Amino acid sequence: MPTIGEAIRCSLWARSLAPDQLARVEATVVELFVPANGFVCRKGEPVESWLGVIEGLVKLGGFRNFTGAIVPAGGWFAEGSLLKDKLFKYDGIALRDSRIARVPRETFEWLLETSIGFSRFLLHQLNERLGQFIAITECDRVLDPDTRVARSLATMFNPYLYPGIENRLQLSQEEIGRLSGVSRQRANQALQVLEKAGILKVDYGRVTVLDVEALRSFGV
DNA sequence: TCATTAAATTGTT
DNA sequence: AACAATTTAATGA
């Protein structure tokens, strides 16, 4: 189990920091344990830190039964709310026991002002998120549920937003359904189609992605 | 280590 | 949506 400092040093954005900047991050970061089904953040709550998933899996959403995004270990989020709204506009729920890193707003803003590398990382991350968002709305127009499920799963394998994610996702078919905006029954059917196509493997309570590219381009 | 039981997940109608 | 079947995890001998 990595310490919080190790996890941060491994993250993509920390690599571009100078030693004194990294030191300040490590000095001000706070680790928070969130048990499965616990709230990492709540809609309407003021945002006072940038959040990173050290270990575990967090689901962002809270709109009806629709899930906006799944953030696996190595993913960072809330920068948009931190910069703009000052309030969370979604719930964050831990899908399993998770360790969350909280970088205080002052540190975050200081990095943004003093580190070009950090600014570039954020720019890139925001851009990737925009792309993800477009892909999701595009998904809504595609009627074929198999493709929708494939795309939703594929968004979790964005190497920039979520580096070093394992290809083994511990997600029940019910959660995959919520994630894709289809019923559990339909998600099950779609997963079987994708399994027969050799793109992924379904097991009890988890899916293993064998071919990310095929998953991404499925149905095109 | 193995059997039993409970809980979670999946398949079916 | 409800029910049955199956898998996993937990408990205790």
The residues that bridge with A99 in the sheet, in sequence order, are A33, A55
Report whether pLDDT(A105) > 90.
Answer: yes
CA of residue A50 to C1' of nucleotide B1, angstroms: 47
Q: What is the pTM of this model?
A: 0.86
A26-65 confidence digits (pLDDT tens): 999 999 999 888 899 999 999 999 999 998 888 888 665 5
Torsion, Cα of A125, A12, A2, A28 (10° steps):
-80
A140-165 confidence digits (pLDDT tens): 777 788 999 999 899 888 888 887 77
Nucleotide nearest to A184 (CA to C1'): B10
A119-141 confidence digits (pLDDT tens): 999 999 999 989 888 887 777 77
- pLDDT range class, residue A204, cuts 50, 70, 90: very high
CA of residue A80 to C1' of nucleotide C1, angstroms: 39
Bases along strand C below 7 A from a protein CB: 1, 7-8
DSSP designation for A155: G
Q: How far apart are CA A150 and CA A67, in angstroms?
A: 15
Q: What is the pLDDT of residue A192?
A: 95
CA of residue A216 to C1' of nucleotide B13, angstroms: 33
Torsion, Cα of A34, A37, A38, A44 (10° steps):
130
CA of residue A92 to C1' of nucleotide C1, angstroms: 28
Across A91-102, average pLDDT: 90
Q: Is the CB of A204 under 7 A from strand B?
A: yes
Across A199-218, average pLDDT: 94
Tokens of A106: 């002052």
